[in-house]
């Protein structure tokens, strides 16, 4: 059987690999942009738009390639293997070492898009004498879409959670290099030229294999430099990168590079999150719901009350709750909170949980990340707080983390106004946490709630809060006082853009 009879199936099969790898590179860029820059909707929109535009440039530029089509195709595949395969590690290096992440990201997207845009037109021209035009276009485009489906399923379900974003990038680059290598056998090339191309394919493939094997050590070294302390735990979930560091005195948790807590002052945050709300309730709660707070530190504070009968914690990411259920340093921080028989952990979306549950709770503790993107922003909307209101009896209490009233003043008061619009009476409060600065919360309940005068725990049991500190939490100085900003609704979520704008001003 001649080589030519294998030609069409082999080249057509490469379309699936090309389409899969092309979309994976796009998803990698969008994911890294949302990790680093926040606002996942905007970042994926920018990346997709720029990528498709660049593909258009590449497709148009392909008409200027007139000779040695197979050799050019192999060279383009190798270029994609190098640039695309090392895109995530290079962007990581820029982010941790140089700080010009946005420029590097969009330049990388533009370059990969142009190269990917060159691929399919060249393949069509390589196949134009093997198939009729209608069959050629139909097969190439249909296989291209099949490859896109593979990528859209493999990336979130297999590649990202199992390999992480960097190894995924290099593995897909390796596939491009193997396509290039296989292509050198499909059409006759001059003997010297074919061996030179195959050698280049081998070198690129070897480099990517070495990268896959050695990257973990490289990443740990540079992440430790970036985070400022040795890394004692790291993992990649479908939702975020989880890193825990430990120095001589301090343990810190980072999600997607953002500090979540520092062990030397997290007690200020979590004591303020929990105990004033219990004091406002006026008695020890029996049925408690915690939304977010997958580290178990809020649960630790709630378990100080012997009258608590059950605590249901709802956190989306099982990778986070497993760290604080199983890793010794996490268990030490939350005092083995997840091993208490009164605690039930449910890994699901909090919005959906409130829609589905029929239970009522004396106390609800809401401890979500700040509304830096629309996926989290929906948990700060009127629709969410209305659902929350339905799960709290008339004399029940909720307490909600609502970002910094100093660094994000408009965001804080928009969250407070949105909570009030859901038929809550609100008591805004704030506390100074050295790792974060001034931080804000809202205690919410039915008509008549007032600022508490005493805690429901014996004096001296807590590290930070006492009867003297309690009233000060509810007093706001002029530079953090109320401003009128409106309500955050699900259909437009103005809070996300306001929050992003306010924090960007402090990070410049």
Which residues are identified as catalytic? 367
Q: Are strands 363-367 and 287-292 parallel, antiparallel or unpaired?
A: parallel
Tokens describing residue 55 = 């593909």
Helical (H) or strand (E) element with 310? strand 310-314
- The neighbour count for residue 1, using CB atoms within 10 Å, is 5
- The neighbour count for residue 383, using CB atoms within 10 Å, is 18
Q: How far apart are CA 200 and CA 177, in angstroms?
A: 9
Tokens describing residue 112 = 């990969």
One-character DSSP codes across 461-489: SSSS--TTTTGGGG---GGGS--------
Tokens describing residue 377 = 């922003």
Length of the chain in residues, anyone?
508
The CB-based long-range contact list for 383-388 (8 Å cut-off, 24+ gap) reads: 383/489, 383/490, 384/350, 384/351, 384/354, 384/490, 385/418, 385/419, 385/421, 385/422, 385/424, 386/422, 386/423, 387/351, 387/354, 387/355, 388/354, 388/364, 388/422
Q: Are 30 and 235 in contact (CB under 8 A)?
A: no
């Amino acid at each position: 059987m001649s080589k030519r009879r294998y030609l069409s199936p082999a080249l057509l099969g490469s379309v699936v690999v090309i389409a899969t790898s092309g979309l994976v590179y796009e998803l990698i860029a969008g994911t890294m942009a949302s990790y680093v820059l926040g606002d996942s909707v905007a970042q994926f929109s920018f990346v997709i738009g720029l990528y498709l535009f660049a593909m258009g440039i590449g497709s148009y530029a392909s008409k200027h390639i007139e000779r040695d089509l197979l050799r050019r195709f192999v060279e383009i595949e190798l270029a994609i293997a190098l640039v695309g395969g090392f895109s995530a590690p290079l962007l990581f290096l820029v982010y941790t070492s140089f700080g010009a992440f946005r420029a590097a990201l969009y330049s990388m997207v533009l370059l990969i898009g142009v190269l990917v845009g060159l691929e399919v037109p060249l393949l069509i021209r390589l196949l134009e004498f093997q198939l009729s035009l209608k069959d050629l276009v139909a097969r190439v485009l249909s296989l291209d879409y099949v490859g896109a489906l593979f990528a859209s399923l493999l990336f979130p379900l297999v590649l990202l959670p199992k390999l992480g974003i960097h190894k995924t990038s290099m593995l897909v680059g390796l596939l491009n290099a193997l396509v290039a290598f296989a292509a050198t056998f499909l059409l006759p090339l001059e003997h010297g030229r074919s061996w030179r191309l195959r050698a280049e394919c081998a070198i690129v493939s070897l480099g990517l294999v070495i990268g896959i094997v050695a990257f973990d050590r490289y990443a740990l070294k540079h992440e430790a430099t970036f985070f400022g302390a040795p890394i004692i735990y790291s993992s990649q979930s479908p939702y975020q990168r989880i890193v825990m560091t430990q120095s001589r005195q301090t343990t810190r948790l980072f999600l997607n590079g953002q500090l979540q807590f520092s062990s030397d002052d997290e007690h200020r945050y979590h004591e303020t999150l929990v105990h004033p709300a219990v004091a406002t309730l006026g008695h020890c709660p029996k049925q408690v719901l915690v939304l977010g707070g997958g580290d178990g530190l809020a649960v630790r504070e709630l378990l100080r009350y012997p009258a608590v009968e059950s605590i249901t914690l709802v956190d989306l990411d099982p990778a986070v709750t497993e760290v604080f259920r199983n890793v010794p340093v996490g268990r030490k921080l939350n005092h083995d909170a997840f091993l208490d028989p009164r605690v039930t952990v449910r890994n699901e979306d909090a919005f959906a949980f409130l829609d589905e549950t029929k239970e009522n709770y004396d106390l609800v503790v809401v401890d979500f990340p700040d509304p830096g993107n629309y996926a989290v922003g929906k948990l700060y909307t009127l629709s969410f707080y209305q659902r929350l209101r339905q799960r709290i009896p008339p004399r029940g209490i909720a307490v909600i983390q609502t970002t910094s009233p100093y660094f994000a003043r408009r965001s804080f008061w928009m969250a407070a106004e949105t909570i009030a619009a859901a038929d809550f009476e609100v008591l805004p409060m704030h506390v100074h946490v050295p790792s974060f600065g001034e931080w804000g919360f809202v205690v919410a309940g039915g008509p008549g709630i007032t600022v508490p005068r005493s805690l429901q725990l014996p004096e001296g049991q807590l590290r930070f809060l006492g009867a003297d500190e309690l009233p000060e939490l509810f007093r706001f100085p002029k530079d953090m006082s109320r401003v009128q900003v409106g309500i955050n609704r699900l259909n437009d979520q103005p809070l996300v853009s306001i929050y992003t704008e306010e924090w960007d001003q402090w990070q410049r």
